[in-house]
Structure 1
Amino acid sequence: MPSEPIEASVFPSVLSREQDDEFRTLEAENLSLVLSRHSTQLNALHPVKTLHDLEEIHENEGYHLVAFEKGAGEDPREWGKLKKWWITVSTATLCLSVAIGSSIVTGDMTGPTKELGIKQEITNLTVTCFVMGFGIGPLFMAPLSEVFGRRPVYLASMSLYFIFTLPTALAHNAATLVVGRMIAGLAASAPVCNIGGSLADIWAIEDRGAPMALFSVTLFAGPCIGPMVAGWIGMYAGWRWIYWTLFIFLGVAFIFTLFIPETLAPVLLRRKAQKLRKATGDDRYCTLEELEKIPFTEAMKVALIRPFLMLFQEPIVIFFSFYLSFIYSLLYLMFFAFPIAFSEVRGFSAGLTGITFISIMLGILIAGALVPVQEKIYAKATRNGTYPEARLYPMMLGCFILPAALFIFAFTGGYKWVHWIAVCISGTLFGIAMIMIYVSANSYIIDSYSSYAASAMAAKTFLRSECGAMVPLFVNQMFHNMGFQWAGLLLALAACAIAPIPFIFYFNGETIRMRSSRASQNKRSRDEHVRAESAGSTESIPEKAAR
């Protein structure tokens, strides 16, 4: 999911911090401040950047706040492009392993059903439980990432994901299979919810287009790759080798994890402060994040409660979470509807049915290639001020493509005499619409909120994942009992019913934000920042605070 810069108050209400779409990073530049032990007044101080700077610091009653040294390669934003792209590709590999893992088991759902002697609905739970973990996991991963950094969370997450995939490959009963998938899904949520933050840590705003496009493509193309590969594996090697293949791939992905460095600025600054304290014996050297540190229990409390409050109180979060949940549910619905259209109706083998998912992936790649274009359009639209509604242009187009794709799918998928390419065309259109809507809506949520963006995204992720997880429990019955055409038609009409949402917010978004205590507060602070830039002010926000 794309990440954008947002400012939030951190210690008094004027200091600047940047947050990504899932979680936040502290902007460490220009935090050359002293906080008096006996008051809340901020006073300017020469920045502490190297050990040599310690000789120039006079004794006083304040804390010495540590900052990155310019040009020394301490700041992740200053790392070389080769290193940045290594981190980008490595984290994208983790995301790909998670995305593939969510759907790869659909390549052969009848194998475990027959061998273990369980009902088809129980086998479908292997998808449901894994995707449910996506929604629950981020609620805990957010504070963990803030406290321990991104790298430890990646390592712990991928280790657990790797370990708990093993019992699913060796399972001899339904309980082992389902519980293993549930725990693996919980663990696998960390890469998905942290990668956007990692990219925001290392890439400047104007350079994030390509990295975020790669992240978005892997996030949605991965579920399509899963059944493409698993169909052939299930045919020639059996269902267990689908799980073994995933296990081996996770082992490779874990190797990538070992070489991903820490990128979260507060953690890197905290390590630097620790070195300075150890070298000098002076405990006054610290970071702003250490001074304003929130207790872990309090962070967990906020992470668990605020998303649900926003899910019921914020119109933007409510409607866009609902729309994205529908899109995500459609994606997982296709993993079961395509086998009906191609295997049951047209007699395709499991391998050939898997190949048809290339059509959806093609649409994803087409739309992903257009993401940088949208970024340029947005940059042009916001030259003179903030305008979150400029994020909605792709969604306003995608909301027409989506029902068109579903209408084609409904009237072609269930008829053997209709050429199979027609169903694939609907899949390509669906892939295009999905990315257009998803990326646009995510960006709009982030731009509409600031210090609450992480909670807003957690709320969206929770609802999206839980809705997607429910699909395997009813999709087969829906298409078989209603008939392919009527089931597809119902989905197309639902897409038509929610199509006005982006237009409503495009024309009324500012009014809606101003009525929200969270969003309107963000809008005022950002507009003040824009006006200051327009007036030619070069004084940083921390400098104003110090003054």
Structure 2
Amino acid sequence: MALTNEKLTSSPTDVEEAINDTSSDSDALARLDQLNKEYGATWDSPSDPNNPYNWSTARKISIALIFSFGQLVTLMAASMIAAALDDIIVDLAIDAATAQIVFSTYFLGLAFGPFVVAAFSEMHGRKMVWVYSQVWFILWNLVSPFGNSKGLMIFARLMAGCGASVGTTLTGPVMADMFSISNRGRSMAIASFLPFLGPSLGPIVGGFITQWVTWQWIFYIMSIFSAALTILGLFVIRESYTPILLRRKSPTPSPTKTRLLPSLLRPINLLLHRPIIQLLALLLALNFGLYSLILSTYATLFITRYNQTPSQASLHYLTISLGGTLAAQIGARMMDVIYRRLKARSPNNTSVPEFRVPYMVPGFVFVAAGFFWYAWAAQMTAHWAVVDAGTVVFALGSFMVSQAVLAYKLDEFGDHGASAGAAARCLMYVASFGFPIFAPGLYAALGYGWGNSIFGFAWVVLAWPMLPVFWVFGARLRALGRAEGEHGVVGV
């Protein structure tokens, strides 16, 4: 199936960059005319205040914070029950492996929910899709603990994860809607600061709630916060998707009802037919698989081997947050600096997604070094600070890799960044579902040292060769399977 029936002559990234490049009025006006041909309308001028690129900094940051808080809550919901798994095992009368399924099923929702979220966001815009998905998450998250039913909790966690996927699916594309390509790292630093706190705050808050009240309140409290944020988002968030805004200005807007199926199938087509997406998906799966191994077992490690209480053990998740914060606030800005310097050195000042690859290099190294450090420190029951230090290094590298992949994907796929993200993240969340399930048996058989080292070696053998492949052959890989007008908008 072709990705689109429309024949477009340029990518949205090229169009938007030209519109915002005021160095040449004639070129900017020519691009405005091109937008009119492609979308049936155009901006009134290169400085049109309705263009999301020209919105005030206060408005951009306000929208970014709403999306960030939303993603923070849903990511906290993913990890909050980690410190309560022992109590859940008792109350639901299940074994440790089943408890890990309860924990991990949420990630299956994060894997497949984006296929629907991306399709509808590229048909109807970002705002209402975000609102409806938030409501979906709230309802299923409330249902999860009802009746202490194992089957209901597993299914409800799956459905809640589908709604929660709106944060991971749309936050990056919304930032790309409002910020130019040369400021992509800066925009991600703004949008990702709070979400990076989620994996650590979740188990911490969950540990204290479990110790002070009951684990069921983990779900109730998250739903209350998410409901308040959704109401606030109704008033703060403005539609930012340029194709939708321009289609609304068009005197003859395109019908959408006949284009739902192509939009829903677009992420699948990208995953099946674009080798570059397949490589990015494999890279993210390996990266997040290692991350989920630590995330799902970190509290258990300190409870069982260091004899700490659930609330004490949950505090160690702050190390993951520290690594993520360093990547967001320092690393993301470094990525912008590297990108601008490579662009300045390129012929005719042109830019390509491969300019994100140098930023991946330290991330790849930190992932391996930190993971092996954590694995053998835990195996030898070294001082807890030694274990935490390894986790900080790992988390820093893991988030750096994720940032670079996100930027690379948005650079390549433009307006279809949400669909490309859904395709690339699918394997990532499937891996995060599967890895924690066999973690207890793996550690029982091999210990933390060799049990984790197996996956550390897999990262080195499978992931590291991708760096020269992206750098040398990236342009050719991106061209493989690319349909004419692929960057165009389908379904709006």
Q: Which TM class, normalised by the smaller chain length?
A: 0.7 to 0.9
2:124 to 137, 141, 148: 148
Q: Which moved more, 1:115-124 or 1:505-514?
A: 505-514
8 Å CA contact retained: 2:359, 2:400: yes
- Give the whole-Å Cα distance in 2 for the aligned partners of 1:490 and 1:304: 31
Structure with higher Rg: it is: 1
Q: Which amino acid aligns with 1:249?
A: F
Query: Deviation of residue 73 (structure 1)?
Result: 3.0
1:14 match: 9
1:470 match: 434
1:395 match: 360
- Give the whole-Å Cα distance in 2 for the aligned partners of 1:242 and 1:309: 38
2:41 to 53, 59, 66: 66
Query: Deviation of residue 301 (structure 1)?
Result: 5.0
- Percent sequence identity over matched residues? 22
Query: Deviation of residue 298 (structure 1)?
Result: 3.7
Q: Which moved more, 1:355-364 or 1:502-511?
A: 502-511
1:505 to 463, 469, 473: 469
Aligned length: 466
Tell me the TM-score normalized by structure 2: 0.86
Q: 1:73 to 1:181 in 2, by over 3 A?
A: same
- Give the whole-Å Cα distance in 2 for the aligned partners of 1:336 and 1:136: 20
1:120 match: 96
- Give the whole-Å Cα distance in 2 for the aligned partners of 1:298 and 1:453: 18
2:338 to 365, 377, 380: 377
8 Å CA contact retained: 2:271, 2:278: no
2:393 match: 429
Alignment of 1:513-532 (within 5 A): 513=477, 516-518=480-482
- Give the whole-Å Cα distance in 1 for the aligned partners of 2:289 and 2:42: 45
1:101 match: 77
- Give the whole-Å Cα distance in 1 for the aligned partners of 2:4 and 2:31: 15
Q: Which amino acid aligns with 1:353?
A: A
Q: 2:59 aligned with 1:83, yes or no?
A: yes
* Runs of 5+ consecutive residues of structure 1 not aligned to the other structure: 1-7, 21-26, 36-41, 43-62, 274-284, 526-547
Query: Deviation of residue 186 (structure 1)?
Result: 0.8
2:459 match: 495
2:369 to 404, 407, 418: 404
Q: 1:241 to 1:217 in 2, by over 3 A?
A: same
- Give the whole-Å Cα distance in 2 for the aligned partners of 1:139 and 1:343: 38
1:55 match: none
C-alpha deviations, 1:272-310, integer Å up to 9, x for none? 44xxxxxxxxxxx235xx28x683234245325303313
- Give the whole-Å Cα distance in 1 for the aligned partners of 2:445 and 2:285: 24
C-alpha deviations, 1:436-473, integer Å up to 9, x for none? 21212333344455677555432211111111111221
Q: 1:486 to 1:223 in 2, by over 3 A?
A: same
Q: Which amino acid aligns with 1:306?
A: N
Q: Which amino acid aligns with 1:251?
A: A
1:484 match: 448
Q: Which amino acid aligns with 2:294?
A: M
Q: 1:29 to 1:306 in 2, by over 3 A?
A: farther
Q: Which moved more, 1:329-338 or 1:71-80?
A: 71-80
Query: Deviation of residue 221 (structure 1)?
Result: 2.9
8 Å CA contact retained: 1:396, 1:502: no
- Give the whole-Å Cα distance in 1 for the aligned partners of 2:291 and 2:474: 31
Q: Secondary structure at the match of 1:382?
A: helix
- Give the whole-Å Cα distance in 1 for the aligned partners of 2:425 and 2:229: 23
Q: Which amino acid aligns with 1:247?
A: S
Q: 1:267 to 1:499 in 2, by over 3 A?
A: closer
8 Å CA contact retained: 2:32, 2:43: no
1:247 to 200, 214, 223: 223
1:187 match: 163
Higher helix share: 2
- Give the whole-Å Cα distance in 2 for the aligned partners of 1:31 and 1:375: 27
Q: Secondary structure at the match of 2:50?
A: coil
Q: 1:208 to 1:511 in 2, by over 3 A?
A: closer
Q: 1:105 to 1:145 in 2, by over 3 A?
A: same
C-alpha deviations, 1:97-149, integer Å up to 9, x for none? 11111111112012222122233333322322211011111111122112222
Q: 1:501 to 1:447 in 2, by over 3 A?
A: farther
Q: 2:252 aligned with 1:286, yes or no?
A: yes
Query: Deviation of residue 362 (structure 1)?
Result: 0.9
Tell me the TM-score normalized by structure 1: 0.77
Q: Secondary structure at the match of 1:69?
A: coil
1:296 match: 259
Q: Which moved more, 1:129-138 or 1:509-518?
A: 509-518
Q: Which amino acid aligns with 2:170?
A: N
Query: Deviation of residue 506 (structure 1)?
Result: 4.7
Q: 1:364 to 1:522 in 2, by over 3 A?
A: farther
1:329 match: 289
Q: 2:389 aligned with 1:414, yes or no?
A: no
Q: 1:270 to 1:29 in 2, by over 3 A?
A: farther
1:263 match: 240
Alpha-carbon RMSD: 3.1
